[in-house]
Amino acid sequence: MREQYLEAIGITVWSQRNFDENKTLIPDLSQQGWDELKITVEDCTRCELCHGRTQTVFGVGDHGADLLIIGEAPGVEEDQRGEPFVGRAGQLLDAMLSSIHLSRNKVYIANILKCRPPNNRDPKPKESLTCGPYLERQISLLQPKVILALGRIAAQWLLKSDSPVGRLRGGEFNYGEQQIPLLVSYHPAYLLRSPSAKSKAWEDLILVMQILQNS
Ligand code: URA
């Protein structure tokens, strides 16, 4: 209102704009809805991963979902298709969801990074820091009842921890100001390499289900 008034009488209004350490503008996401946020992500050039991507991988699922699943970053197939978890690990994730009577269109699935790191290397901490606000805004828009972090990168970033997944899983944490229940489990790609860990992942899913049922 004040700004509109000042502009109407011909006074230029300067607003505070924030830049990150790469001198790129940090967009104000706080008023962005799903559609605008998706476009902001599609246009993002705030780190070097934008040069190697086929497209951004924003996230998929129900905007009213109770369960938010967070992975690490798109792989080669996700980069091609523009959707998270569509490769072999994604097929296992679908099977895990179906074991608790859920499907990818009844939950919401997103990654810490929206662009594929080259050769599927781990995200660099700086990349997670740069990309993280997009996920944070997705979480505020979604307001899920439970967050499930899959794998080390997602778990450590969300919990600001350096503990290994094996130590974080099994615990019930809370995320952000809203204290959203957050659980950690193994990444499906790890489960493909280490099928003996599937029984522990199953225990994690049971816990997810219990929290959803009690919420
Ligand atoms: N691994 C992830 O963490 N996310 C994907 O989208 C695909 C594989």
Q: Which domains does the chain have, with CATH numbers?
A: 22-214 (3.40.470.10)
H-type alpha helices, 60-187: 76-81, 88-99, 125-142, 151-159, 165-168
Size (the chain), residues: 215
Residue nearest to atom 7 of ligand 1 (CA): 85
Per-residue pLDDT of the chain (215 residues; tens, 9 = 90+): 566 676 777 776 655 567 766 666 778 999 999 999 999 999 999 999 999 999 999 999 999 999 999 999 999 999 999 999 999 999 999 999 999 999 999 999 999 999 999 998 999 999 999 999 999 999 999 999 999 999 999 999 999 999 999 999 999 999 999 999 999 999 999 999 999 999 999 999 999 999 999 98
DSSP 85: S
CB count within 10 Å of CB 146 equals: 23
Among 70, 78, 135, say which to mutate for ligand 1: greatest number of ligand atoms within 8 Å of CB. 78
How far is 142 from 69, CA to CA, in rounded Å? 12
Q: Is the full-model pTM beyond 0.85?
A: yes
Locate the ligand 1 atom nearest the alpha carbon of residue 111 and give its number. Answer: 4
Distance 55 CA to ligand 1 centre (A): 14
